[in-house]
Each structure stands twice: as structure tokens, then as C-alpha cells.
A and B are shown apart, each in its own frame.
Chain A
């Protein structure tokens, strides 16, 4: 293969390679973002797609954007590592929330009056439907 032919092949392969690498980079970045937020093991999915697209580009166009491909691999692997580490080492917890706690208390405060009104109301209706209850 002459030097000219080689250059021509490289020129045609580069745009095709980019068509694979740009989505691969996007998937890699999405997986990093998802892993940082803490979406469990879901970030593994875009990370795997990123690795797959990067891998295809690397196998088909070995000499195109080599460093760029390695960066994509790196991003996807870091995202996968963050997700797996977070899931295995850190337990999900609900943060203490004083405002919500006070809502729980406030909700119960007015209920006595509502129940009193309800039980005193002639429309209350006190008959007990027994049809669905298990009995001994």
C-alpha cells in the first residue's frame, strides 16, 4: 500500500470513527454523571454502551483517535467503578428532616377535632360491614 493510499484510507476512516467515538464519549459522560448522583448500578448500562462503541471503533480503525478512545475507556471504567463501589460500600439512607417531622405532628393535631365532628354528625353512619373480615 502506497503512502498516498494509506493517507486516503485514514481520511475516510476518521469521520466514521468519530461517529462511534462521539456517542461513546456521551455515554461515558452520562454514566459518570449518573454514578456521581448515585443511581445504583444503572450507570453500568451507559458505561457498557460507551465501552462497546469505543471498542468497535478501536477494532475497526485502530489508528484513528487512539488517545481519545483510551480516554473514553477510562471514563466508562471509572463510572463503573464508582457505581459498584457506592452500591457495595455505602448504604442508602434517608436524611433527617425536621420540617417533615413537624408535618407529621401537625397532621395529627387537627384530627381529634375532625373525628369529634365526624362522630357527632348524624351522617356519620356507624354500621360495620362484616362481609370481608376473617373471624375466629
Chain B
């Protein structure tokens, strides 16, 4: 009788496991973006209906091959417009090298140059030992530290692409997702809250239906929990078209101005 139960258990288990195994073997990861995608945003400060364009943010996706592995290089650059360069010049680079299957970052570089304040950060992420090595360089002095990570840890660039892979159609409004993210020299939980769909007026696509996502770090917004939002197009590409962050006086907004190389 005992043997019969074990045999029945094995049969049932195999019936459950085999189809899942088959699905995994047959499927391939579908990313909503591709190499060659270039998104350009205009960063502006808003005070009620008055605004000032401050900087341009460009996000580029390109292929990168290293040691026979096919990666994505995700590069975000932020540059102030020329009229601010003499007062407060910003030239920031955020670049991440991620696995194509899974948006898993391997290396994340952050080169900051803001009004003459400069520093470089390079994270090398080792998932085997669940650690990230950080080389922090400022004034030609480099110090190295080790940060404990989790399996799903993202960086400041890869998190955007990771969120684009999520299936919001299957999510209920109010659903939250916690993503451990390397911010500065520690891991913070970035909490994404799905807030439903909204129509957003955009420069490249006209008015388009978008997923509205609330973004908080460790469940804190700049002003309150609902003050920071990002809108992704509600289609297969999930292109970020607008980012809005409330600050004590006014708000900072990023608006998509140009989109090239979008996956068809």
C-alpha cells in the first residue's frame, strides 16, 4: 500500500512537473525593447502652469558581447541645457551591463559630474556570493566596499527595463512590487505600485493609454507616498513617456520627446 502511494505520488508529481518543464524549455524571454532603442526626455521644473526646461535625459540600449555572452548595454546620460552650463553644469552617466535573458545586471557604472562635484562608482555584481563590489572614486582616491545583495537586485538603470518586463495586464490596481536596488552604497527597496491606466499626451505618440506606476523608495516619496509616478505605454513596448516627482515647491517632470529604434 505504501509503495502504491509513493508510486501514485511520483506519477502525480511528474504530471505536474513535466508540463512546466516543457513550457520552460520551449519559451524564450521576450523583452519589450531591443538594441538600438533611444529614448530622449526633457527634464523640467514645474510650478503650477509655469515651467523651466532644465536638462535632457537620454536612454540608449545597445548590444554588448563579452566572453561569448550576449548582453545589453543600457546607458542613461543626463546633461543640462547649454544656458545652464555656465551656472550649474550636469554631465551624469549611468550605465548598466545586463543579461539579455532576465535583465540581471552584471556591472553598473555611475559617473557623476554636477556643478563640478565629481565622483565615479562601479559596482561589480556577483550573484554566486550574493555580493556587489563597489569601487568609489573621488579626487583620484578609490575605496572599495562590499554590499550584500539579493538574487533580484537591480541598479538605477536596469530597474526601469526590469519594470518594463512586468505584465501589468494581469495585475490588479494597487498591487505593489518590491525591487531591491543598489542606490548609493546600499540596497534600498524600490516599491512599484500599479495605479491603473491613464491617457497621457506625448510628443512622439500623441495621446496614448499608459500604465501609471507609483514609485517610492523604502515606502517613502519625496513629498508623500503618492507623489512620484511613472507612466509606461500600455502596449507591448511599455515605453516610459512621463515621470513626475512632487517636491516641496512644484514638481520635477521628465517628458518623452523622441523615441527611436522601438521594437516592432
Shortest distance between the CB of B100 and any CB in chain A (Å): 10
Tell whether, in the assembled complex, residue B52 and residue A111 are in contact, meaning their CB atoms are under 8 Å apart.
no
Kindly list chain B residues whose C-beta atoms are within 8 Å of the C-beta of A117: 124
Question: Which of A8-16, A52-60, A120-128 forms contacts with chain B?
Answer: A120-128
Partner of B165, one of A45, A111, A116, A132: A132
Tell whether, in the assembled complex, residue B51 and residue A123 are in contact, meaning their CB atoms are under 8 Å apart.
no
Partner of B79, one of A97, A119, A128, A134: A97
Question: Which of A22-30, A36-44, A64-72 forms contacts with chain B?
Answer: A36-44
Kindly list chain B residues whose C-beta atoms are within 8 Å of the C-beta of A45: 47, 50
Partner of B101, one of A108, A116, A128: A128
Alpha-carbon distance A127/B152, docked complex (angstroms): 11
Shortest distance between the CB of A132 and any CB in chain B (Å): 6
Question: Which of B105-113, B202-210, B221-229, B239-247 forms contacts with chain A?
Answer: B105-113
Partner of A125, one of B73, B93, B126: B126
Interface residues on A, range: 35 or more
Partner of B30, one of A93, A127, A135: A135
Kindly list chain B residues whose C-beta atoms are within 8 Å of the C-beta of A129: 102, 104, 151-152
Tell whether, in the assembled complex, residue A118 and residue B107 are in contact, meaning their CB atoms are under 8 Å apart.
yes
Kindly list chain A residues whose C-beta atoms are within 8 Å of the C-beta of B91: 97, 99-100, 103
Is B166 an interface position by the 8 A CB rule? Answer: yes
A36: nearest residue on chain B (CB-CB)?
B83
Kindly list chain A residues whose C-beta atoms are within 8 Å of the C-beta of B27: 135-136
Tell whether, in the assembled complex, residue A107 and residue B93 are in contact, meaning their CB atoms are under 8 Å apart.
yes
Is B45 an interface position by the 8 A CB rule? Answer: yes
Is B143 an interface position by the 8 A CB rule? Answer: no
Q: Mark B47-81, 1 if CB is under 8 A from A, else 0.
A: 10011110110000000101101010101010111
Is A89 an interface position by the 8 A CB rule? Answer: no
Is A114 an interface position by the 8 A CB rule? Answer: yes
The verdict on A115 contacting B97 (CB below 8 Å), with A41-B51, A123-B129, A123-B131 known, is yes
Interface residue ranges of B138-175 to A (CB < 8 Å)? 151-152, 162, 165-167
B67: nearest residue on chain A (CB-CB)?
A119
Kindly list chain A residues whose C-beta atoms are within 8 Å of the C-beta of B42: 92
- Return 14 A-B CB contacts under 8 Å, by A number: A38-B81, A39-B52, A40-B51, A42-B50, A42-B52, A104-B93, A107-B93, A116-B66, A118-B124, A133-B29, A133-B101, A134-B165, A135-B29, A135-B30
Please give me the 5 A-B residue pairs with the lowest Cβ-Cβ distance, nearest first: A125-B128, A40-B52, A125-B127, A38-B83, A115-B66
Q: Which chain A residues have a beta carbon within 8 Å of chain B's beta carbons?
A: 37-42, 44-45, 92-95, 97, 99-100, 103-104, 107-108, 111-112, 114-136
